[in-house]
Amino acid sequence: MEHELFRARYNDLVSEINKHNELYYKNNTPVISDQEYDKLYNELKELEEQFPELISPQSPLRKVGYETENELFTKVVHKNPMLSLGNTYNLSEVFNFLDRIIKSFDSSTEIEVVCEPKFDGISIELVYENGRFVRAVTRGDGVTGDDVTKNVKLIKSIPERSNLFGGNFAVRGEIFMTFSTFESLNATRNENGEKLFMNPRNAAGGTLHLKDTSEAAKRPLEIYVYDLLTEHEDVKSHDNMIELLYENEFPVFGKSNVLNVKARIEIENIIKSWDLRRANLEFPVDGLVFKVNNFEQRQVLGTNIKDPRWGFAFKFPSDELETELLDVELNVGRTGAVTPVAVLKPVLLDGTRVSRASLHNFDYIKEKDLRIHDIVKVKKAGEIIPQVTVLVQHTEFSVEIKAPENCPSCGYPLSKKMTSQKKNRKSDNEQKNREFEEEKALRCTNFNCSSRMENALIHFISRDMMNFDTMGEKLVHQLFEKGLVRKPSDFYKLTVDSLSELERMGKKSAKNIIDSIEKSKTSELWRIIHALGISGVGKANSKLLANHFGSFERLLSVNNENRESFRDELISIDGIGDTVAADIITLLSDDLFIEELKILAAFLKPQINTTVSGVLSGKSLCITGSLSKPRDYFEKLISENGGMVRNSVSAKLDFLVCGENAGSKKEKAEKAGVKILSENELTTMLTGN
């Protein structure tokens, strides 16, 4: 019975993978990501290894690509099969591949591997006869491919003539479309009401299979050549071959990285550097290829059914994956903002299973034309928070997403807050003539909304706030449901006995929680301000306010008589704008909020903010890009040396500290004339070394 279950699963996998192969190789319209495909493929491979009696002639593991059935193109048999490479997303499997190579030779044998980018395009074979380029053939099923010569001859970088090896040879490479060409092509198709291409590979494959060469000419393609089929005694290694192709004017990417097979640290560093570098390339690279450099050693290693034992590919995790938007849930945050959250068909994104993603707000949903049951793309913003980025296509089941009129938690009517536009202020009169605009977020204005209250409590205990390091969201929810904690000051009224009454809570755990709460009473003032959850007051603004006011009591000094003067004082703080000032004044004018602050003030004894002198005294800095240490480390370093960390770039900023992939902030700083520092330059400035 168990064997029959395996057989049924095997048959399902064969059918499903062959379907995806057809969509990918024949139609150039994949509906799942490479990672999802590889997961299915590896499951099939494991079944065939465990139960060889199940193996079917239809198994995709017996084929390289997919046998196309396009009657518009002549079928051509490759001189040598076009093999595919085994691949992984795991660095340890790359090292396992290298270990297998080492074990295949005597311990004294010198073994080198070359490392090259893996282009995400269409594999092609170019055939030369009597010195002329005569034929271009796609991979097809690895044995037979489509003759697409007419369209490939439009690629200007391919030599029309070559006398290499007497003019009779073949080369292989990857045809691709640049991102700029792809975006321009899709923009034109969108204007014409045509179906958009999913990605550059999809567009390149469609272009190669156009019957009309004049239409293909409007979609410029590029190629990099990476292999030479003709054997010759002068060509003994891969790097030697690439150099020969370059000398004969074939478009190659550049010199290959040649590494000792045991150079693990260098190999790992190359993978990391390419993962960063590929974001700035004009063409798609989805991984790195590792190959044994010496051709005689390749002969010794040989090949499997469909892939060589001397080559292997490491694939970078997908930046974006496609999935179905199943539903939309509404979350009510601590400030009352109602955030739509996409419920997704689960996908594995950068090593984690993602089933929820941000949709930002309902204006974003309208702008992207998103509907329930659409096929969408999802990625991680800043490699942390999943978000839906783009619509791929509507389906016949797609349903409009409507913005709610009432809070999903308490039923209170929702509204949009008016915010002042940023502008340079030249006089007090200009303050009275501020221009306002409606913000994008829908908000529940009921301060007693249970969702708002609970999320405010979770915010209060978080790491960058009061840092109750022994308490998590589940415990906060439990305390809230039991009525033990309804506002932040209630945390300081908890006892070991009251906590011990909770389900699965022992005396020791309860005491650890109370100790953590006690420790928070002497937190820095900026942490307390941050923990209050004032709209627009994040970490940076909390530090600005703490440095300016210096004490908790100053925040309690607002009353009806001094509201305007207090607003003016807030706006005078460099970095605090009109909208943030208005939000602070609104809260500090609320009797219930002031009462809560007074109760908290009785419990808390914040650390006194003192002015720090140092080489950065009076200087403001912003940090962007990837640094060698966590951002908190550099923020603390800057503060300890008298500097102030800002979140945004303006002409008033003194320095912008840039790591890898600095992005738009660097461009903005350059235009504003802000001095840019590297991580090393900042360290040198602070240490003198």
| Average pLDDT of the residues in 261-286 | 86
- Provide the strand spans (E) within 360-465: 371-372, 375-381, 385-393, 399-400, 414-420, 436-444
Q: Does domain 620-687 have CATH number 1.20.120.1780?
A: no
Phi, psi of 55 (to 5 degrees): -55, 130
Position 232 scores a pLDDT of 72
| Average pLDDT of the residues in 374-394 | 80
Residue of 554 and 220 predicted with greater confidence: 220
Between helices 631-640 and 679-687, what is the axis angle to 10°?
30
Residue of 678 and 24 predicted with greater confidence: 678
Q: Which fold does the domain 2-62 belong to in CATH?
A: Helix Hairpins (1.10.287)
| Average pLDDT of the residues in 389-396 | 91
Tell me which CATH homologous superfamily contains domain 450-520.
5' to 3' exonuclease, C-terminal subdomain (1.10.150.20)
pLDDT digits (tens, 9 = 90+) for 408-429: 999 999 988 766 554 444 344 4
Strand 144-146 to strand 337-349: parallel, antiparallel, or no bridges (unpaired)? unpaired
pLDDT digits (tens, 9 = 90+) for 245-267: 999 999 999 888 899 999 999 99
What confidence category does residue 1 fall into, taking pLDDT thresholds of 50, 70 and 90? Answer: very low
Position 426 scores a pLDDT of 39
| Of residues 299, 308, 300, the one with CA closest to residue 86 | 308
Position 69 scores a pLDDT of 45
Strand 122-129 to strand 222-228: parallel, antiparallel, or no bridges (unpaired)? unpaired
Answer yes or no: is pLDDT of 68 > 80: no
Answer yes or no: is pLDDT of 661 > 70: no
Position 351 scores a pLDDT of 46
User: What is the CA 431 to chain-centroid distance, rounded?
Assistant: 41
Hey, do 2-62 and 450-520 end up sharing a CATH topology, with the first three levels equal?
no
Contacts (Cβ under 8 Å, ≥6 apart) of 610: none
User: Can you give the residue ranges of every domain in the chain?
Assistant: 2-62, 75-315, 320-400, 450-520, 525-603, 620-687
| Average pLDDT of the residues in 475-489 | 92
As a whole-number percent, the residues of the chain with pLDDT over 70 amount to 86
Answer yes or no: is pLDDT of 29 > 70: no
Q: Please state which CATH number belongs to domain 320-400.
A: 2.40.50.140
Cα→Cα distances 60→66, 121, 146, Å: 8, 20, 19
Distance in angstroms (rounded) separating the CA atoms of residues 426 and 423: 9
Position 418 scores a pLDDT of 66
Best mean pLDDT range from 34-43, 409-418, 573-582? 409-418
Position 633 scores a pLDDT of 72
What confidence category does residue 175 fall into, taking pLDDT thresholds of 50, 70 and 90? Answer: very high
At CB < 8 A and 24+ separation, what contacts does 153-158 make?
Answer: 154/213, 154/216, 154/217, 154/220, 154/221, 155/220, 155/221, 155/222, 155/223, 157/222, 157/223, 157/251, 158/126, 158/133, 158/223, 158/250, 158/251
Position 563 scores a pLDDT of 76
Position 348 scores a pLDDT of 61
Q: Does domain 525-603 have CATH number 1.10.150.20?
A: yes
What confidence category does residue 379 fall into, taking pLDDT thresholds of 50, 70 and 90? Answer: confident
- Provide the strand spans (E) within 9-131: 75-77, 86-88, 112-119, 122-129
What confidence category does residue 685 fall into, taking pLDDT thresholds of 50, 70 and 90? Answer: confident
Answer yes or no: is pLDDT of 70 > 60: no
- For 75-315, the fitting CATH number among 3.30.470.30, 3.30.1360.200, 1.10.10.10, 3.90.1300.10 is 3.30.470.30
What confidence category does residue 583 fall into, taking pLDDT thresholds of 50, 70 and 90? Answer: confident
Distance in angstroms (rounded) separating the CA atoms of residues 328 and 554: 43
Phi, psi of 439 (to 5 degrees): -75, 170
Lowest mean pLDDT among 69-73, 267-271, 618-622: 69-73
Answer yes or no: is pLDDT of 460 > 80: yes
Catalytic residues: 118
| Average pLDDT of the residues in 231-257 | 88
pLDDT digits (tens, 9 = 90+) for 155-173: 999 999 999 988 999 999 9
Best mean pLDDT range from 283-297, 611-625, 643-657? 283-297
Q: Which two tokens stand for residue 197?
A: 């291409």
For residue 236, give the DSSP letter.
-
Position 193 scores a pLDDT of 60
Residue of 176 and 319 predicted with greater confidence: 176
| Average pLDDT of the residues in 630-657 | 80
Answer yes or no: is pLDDT of 430 > 60: no
Ramachandran area for residue 249 (φ above 0: left; ψ -120 to 50: alpha; else beta): left
Average pLDDT of the chain is 83
As a whole-number percent, the residues of the chain with pLDDT over 90 amount to 34
Residue of 283 and 231 predicted with greater confidence: 283
Position 423 scores a pLDDT of 43
Answer yes or no: is pLDDT of 365 > 90: yes
Answer yes or no: is pLDDT of 275 > 50: yes
Residue of 664 and 309 predicted with greater confidence: 309
Position 71 scores a pLDDT of 54
pLDDT digits (tens, 9 = 90+) for 86-118: 888 788 888 999 999 999 999 889 999 999 999
Residues 93, 242: contact at Cβ < 8 Å? no
Position 641 scores a pLDDT of 81
| Average pLDDT of the residues in 349-356 | 66
Position 30 scores a pLDDT of 62
CA dihedral of residues 134, 138, 144, 147 (deg, nearest 10): -40
Question: Could you tell me the pTM of the whole model?
Answer: 0.49
Position 480 scores a pLDDT of 92
Answer yes or no: is pLDDT of 457 > 90: yes
